[in-house]
Amino acid sequence: MVTHHIGLMSGTSLDGLDGVILRREGDRLSVIQAAHLDMPADLRARLLALNSPGPNELHLASLAANELVQGYARVVRQLLSDARFPASAIRAIGAHGQTVRHQPLAAGGRADVHAPWSAYTLQLNNPALLAELTGITVVADFRSRDVAAGGQGAPLVPAFHRAVFAQDNRHVAVVNIGGMANVTLLSPDGSVRGFDTGPGNVLMDTWCERHTGQRYDAGGAWGAQGTVQSDVLQTMLRDPYFSLTGPKSTGRELFNADWIDQQVAVSQATLPAAPDVQATLCELTARSIAGALPTDVQDVVVCGGGAFNTQLMSSLQRALPHAVVVRSDTRGLPAMDVEAAAFAWLAEQTLLGLPGNLVGVTGAAGPRVLGAIYPA
């Protein structure tokens, strides 16, 4: 039996909206169509502002969610047009939404199933509107149930990573480098662990935009002009987040422009040249990822926007001399399609009444069917 689901993703990097059509043929999963829509500059600014407290938040968040969903609908229409599919060919859309707040830690400092009222995660979305605009069943709000069960609500992609990247005789690490970086550890015995390692592109993007006006450092070329500042790097690596063991997750609440300024100010009396800070932030991402991986990892499969940063990929390979670092394209899934494909897969899990979380990854009290369903 052949089925098709659409996955939609807009990550913390806020660079755009990604969509894929994921085909299932028996146990085989493949992306047969992909589409991307650049994030409109005004919407990006509003979403960034909503990451912090401000006036009239409820109204502004609702308007931003509606505009985001209109973008999602455009991506869906593009996917259907390119694939020459009618809407009826798609069983469901998995729509992640745009994370603007992620606070999974309870009052005691860790996720706690006995105190779920102090933990939450918020993804702006309007799945009811998306169902109306597309005529397709929508599955959304994947993270909240895991958080309610005492979990981190993230990362959710490791279960999908296991389905597509696990190997019987190899220790594999799948590293998604979006705004934040998360890792999935796949052991030959079938066990899976996963967590957010810390910043992915978010700090590099923030610094690059401040100093060059560009949203990101294409290929890592600007950062490659700089020199890693070892004292600044060591100060950054002393942030308590990096020494936490999983399950753990993070976001812009911690790693942001203020964080960069504080770390640089603590470590040096004078501000280094901007390209030097960029080079240091690149090395921070590589070192924090590498430091989170066990020494027996043999293959490191990288996806997300960071996979296209040549400087970052080189730094990651240097930090992991005993592993093979490759883009996910070499393992059957294009690097920019993996996360969207994961939410297509999660939508399928939800419709089948199957769990979408992994307890060893999120720390939830048990497996849970994730998401809410909005019928066509």
Q: What are the residue ranges of helices labelled H in the chain? A: 41-49, 57-83, 127-134, 144-148, 158-165, 202-212, 221-224, 230-237, 257-267, 274-291, 310-319, 338-351, 359-362
pLDDT of residue 125: 97
Cβ atoms 361, 157 nearer than 8 A = no
- Asked whether the bond before 155 is cis by omega within 30 degrees of 0, the reply is yes
Task: Give pLDDT tens digits for 97-137.
Answer: 999 988 886 433 444 444 556 788 999 999 999 999 999 99
What torsion, rounded to 10 degrees, do the Cα atoms 352, 67, 196, 149 define? -50
The DSSP element (H or E) to which 31 belongs, if any, is strand 28-38
CB 18, CB 34: distance < 8 Å: yes
User: How many angstroms separate the CA atoms of 22 and 19, rounded?
Assistant: 10
Distance CA 328, CA 174 (A): 8
Compute, in degrees rounded to 10, the torsion defined by CA atoms 372, 31, 14, 261: 110
CB 373 within 8 A of CB 137: yes
Residue 38: Cβ-neighbour burial (10 angstroms; 0-12, 13-18, 19+): exposed
pLDDT of 51 higher than 90 = no
Domain boundaries in the chain?
A: 2-153+337-374, 158-331
| 372 band by pLDDT with thresholds 50, 70 and 90 | very high
pLDDT higher than 60, residue 215:
yes
pLDDT grade for 68, boundaries at 50, 70 and 90: very high
pLDDT at 9 over 60: yes
The whole-angstrom separation of Cα 324 and Cα 17 is 30
- Mean pLDDT, rounded, for 287-299: 96
Which pLDDT does position 289 carry in this prediction?
98
Does 357 score more than 90 pLDDT? yes
Task: Determine which helix (DSSP H) or strand (DSSP E) holds 298, and give its type and residue range.
Answer: none
Domains 2-153+337-374 and 158-331 share a fold: yes
Nearest one of 230, 286, 287, 236 to 260, comparing CA atoms: 236
Fold of the 158-331 domain? Nucleotidyltransferase; domain 5 (3.30.420)
Share of the chain above pLDDT 70, in %: 96
Q: Given this model, what pLDDT does residue 117 score? A: 65
**Residue bearing tokens 């964080």:** 259
- Average confidence score pLDDT of the chain: 93
* Whole-angstrom distance, CA of residue 345 vs CA of residue 236: 36
- 107 Cβ contact partners less than 8 Å away, ≥ 6 residues apart: 115, 118
Say whether the peptide bond before residue 247 is cis (omega within 30 degrees of 0): yes
pTM (whole model) above 0.75:
yes
Q: What is the pLDDT averaged over residues 318-341?
A: 96
Model confidence pLDDT, tens digit, residues 140-151: 999 999 999 989
pLDDT in tens, 189-208: 989 999 999 999 999 999 99
The CA distance from 196 to 177, in Å, is 10
- Nearest C-alpha neighbor of 207 from the set 271, 293, 133: 271
Does pLDDT of 269 surpass 80?
no
Q: What is the mean pLDDT of residues 289-310?
A: 96
Name the pLDDT band for 227 (thresholds 50, 70, 90): very high
Confidence of residue 267 (pLDDT cuts 50, 70, 90): confident
Q: Give pLDDT, residue 107.
A: 36
How big is the chain by its Cα radius of gyration, in Å? 20
- Cα–Cα distance between 165 and 173 in angstroms, integer? 9
pLDDT-derived band at 11 (thresholds 50, 70, 90) equals confident
Superfamily of domain 2-153+337-374 in the CATH hierarchy: ATPase, nucleotide binding domain (3.30.420.40)
